[in-house]
Amino acid sequence: MAVEPNVIGMERIPVREGVEVARPRRRVRGPTVRSFGVTFFAVIVLAAFLSPLMRTVTMSLKTPQQIGASNAPLWPAEPRTFEYEGEEYDVYQVPMPDGTTRDLALTQKGRKESEFIDPADPAAGIIVWQGSYRTLDGAWTFAPHWENFATAWEEMNFPRLVLNTALLAIIGTAGTLLSCVLVAYGFARFRFPGRSLLFLLLLSTIFLPAAVTLIPTYTIFVKLGWVGTWLPLLVPAFFANAYDVFLLRQYFLTLPRELDEAAKIDGAGPIRILTSLIVPQSWAVIIAVAVFHVVYTWNLYFEPLLYLSSEPDLQPIATGLANFNSQRSQSVELVQAGTLMTIVIPMIVFFMAQRFFMRGIVITGVEK
């Protein structure tokens, strides 16, 4: 049987007569290059998105001296020192004649020449360096200052702020879910005159700027004597909102009506259908709405500032953090530490409910 000679980059395949011929091998570089490009782009975007957070973390662990220093490193550090014969000396980065740089402890300052000790080998004696020590950069050692978080915790009265915010979030979320589920259930499952018009009016409130209703709403709450209490922040949650109603209604519409009809044949009423049929199949979107409201309440700033300005013991964490920032505006490390502490709990809530949250956003239901 005749065999063709080997050809680089070719593969041999048998033909009808049993003779092998060569053909070019297929190259799969295209999909690989595209996959690498997408991954690389995603990494760049993620790094750009997380860079402010990383800067906040590093700033919260620094000292005021490092923040004010021009030659300080990006990571948390403090000036390096070396103790020699009972005295403490600053360590500098000293360029040597061979082109290298060594960390040496300055023992004798001078304008034209200075004396140093090598911390790695003090027994080597004095090293004389020609030049002014003022032109040298100091050496730094990694030293995170975790006590910044303890200081911010005490000065902000953080436990009280967290308790206030948690109560507002829990009560407000319960009111939002109760009212929005009922309203969305009515729009999704009942037919009544003017339903489409009412739903359109409800959705139109999304486009209404909050500044338009600010003064009338504040006037009503003043007349009711609710200013200085949590009522202006909690009571509106029990009257539904357009965004959550729309999200829940769209999910309810994906559930087949045949399930409702089967339940009616068994004698179930509207409330029983909602509690035993609709809600158990809608936990994904319900948890998504709950996460939305918890994060919204956690970041709520303007309304508490407006209604609770005279009651600091009732203020939530966003308002308390703003007050702390104004009081300690010169202490950047404490401000950043307080900021990090305020975002920990929402991040934990989001990651715990992430699976349900993503399912609720996709708006899927059971198949008919």
* DSSP secondary structure string for all residues of 34-97: HHHHHHHHHHHHHHHHHHHHHHHHHHHT--HHHHH-SS--SSSEEE-EEEETTEEEEEEEEE-T
Shared domain for 125 and 235, answered yes or no, is: no
Containing structural domain, residue 223: 157-362
pLDDT at 85: 82
Shared domain for 113 and 258, answered yes or no, is: no
- In a domain, residue 147? The reply is no
Q: Residue 152 corresponds to which tokens in the numbers above?
A: 């911010």
- In a domain, residue 7? The reply is no
Q: Residue 148 corresponds to which tokens in the numbers above?
A: 């910044």
Angle at the Cα of 119 (from 118 to 122), degrees rounded to 5?
65
Confidence of residue 75 (pLDDT cuts 50, 70, 90): confident
- In a domain, residue 14? The reply is no
DSSP for 309-332 reads TT-GGG--HHHHHHHHHHHTTT-H
pLDDT at 308: 93
Total domains, the chain: 2
pLDDT at 97: 83
CA dihedral 47, 50, 53, 54 (to 10 degrees): -30
Q: What is the mean pLDDT of residues 288-316?
A: 91
Query: Could you tell me the pTM of the whole model?
Result: 0.75
Judge whether residue 319 has pLDDT over 50. yes
- 5-9, 86-90, 105-109, 266-270: lowest mean pLDDT where? 5-9
Assign residue 131 a region (left: φ > 0; alpha: ψ between -120 and 50; beta: otherwise). Answer: left
pLDDT at 27: 55
Q: What is the mean pLDDT of residues 109-129?
A: 86
- In a domain, residue 85? The reply is yes
Judge whether residue 21 has pLDDT over 70. no
Shared domain for 174 and 276, answered yes or no, is: yes
Average pLDDT, the chain: 84
- In a domain, residue 254? The reply is yes
For 162, 192, 238, 300, the CA distances from 315, given in Å and listed in that order, are 10, 43, 20, 10
Judge whether residue 22 has pLDDT over 90. no
- In a domain, residue 4? The reply is no
Q: Which residues contact 102 (CB under 8 A, 6 or more apart)?
A: 93, 94, 96, 118
Q: State how far the Cα of 107 lies from the Cα of 27, in Å rounded to an integer.
A: 66
DSSP bridge pairs for 105: 91, 117
- In a domain, residue 152? The reply is no
pLDDT at 33: 73
Q: State how far the Cα of 165 lies from the Cα of 342, in Å rounded to an integer.
A: 11
Shared domain for 118 and 218, answered yes or no, is: no
Q: Residue 110 corresponds to which tokens in the numbers above?
A: 């001078």
Q: State how far the Cα of 301 lies from the Cα of 309, in Å rounded to an integer.
A: 11
DSSP bridge pairs for 130: 113
pLDDT at 9: 46
pLDDT in tens, 274-297: 999 999 988 888 988 998 899 899
CATH code where residue 198 lies: 1.10.3720.10
Name the domain boundary from 108, 138, 168. 138
Shared domain for 229 and 105, answered yes or no, is: no
Judge whether residue 204 has pLDDT over 60. yes
Q: Which residues contact 109 (CB under 8 A, 6 or more apart)?
A: 133
pLDDT at 239: 93
% of the chain at pLDDT higher than 70:
88
Shared domain for 215 and 91, answered yes or no, is: no
Shared domain for 255 and 193, answered yes or no, is: yes
pLDDT in tens, 342-353: 988 888 877 777
pLDDT in tens, 33-62: 777 788 888 888 888 888 888 888 889 999
Q: Residue 125 corresponds to which tokens in the numbers above?
A: 């004696």
The answer to whether 157 and 310 have CB atoms below 8 angstroms apart is: no
Confidence of residue 360 (pLDDT cuts 50, 70, 90): low
Shared domain for 112 and 163, answered yes or no, is: no
Q: What is the mean pLDDT of residues 80-88?
A: 86
Shared domain for 249 and 117, answered yes or no, is: no
Judge whether residue 128 has pLDDT over 60. yes
Shared domain for 112 and 213, answered yes or no, is: no
- In a domain, residue 29? The reply is no
Q: What is the mean pLDDT of residues 158-178?
A: 94
Shared domain for 164 and 107, answered yes or no, is: no
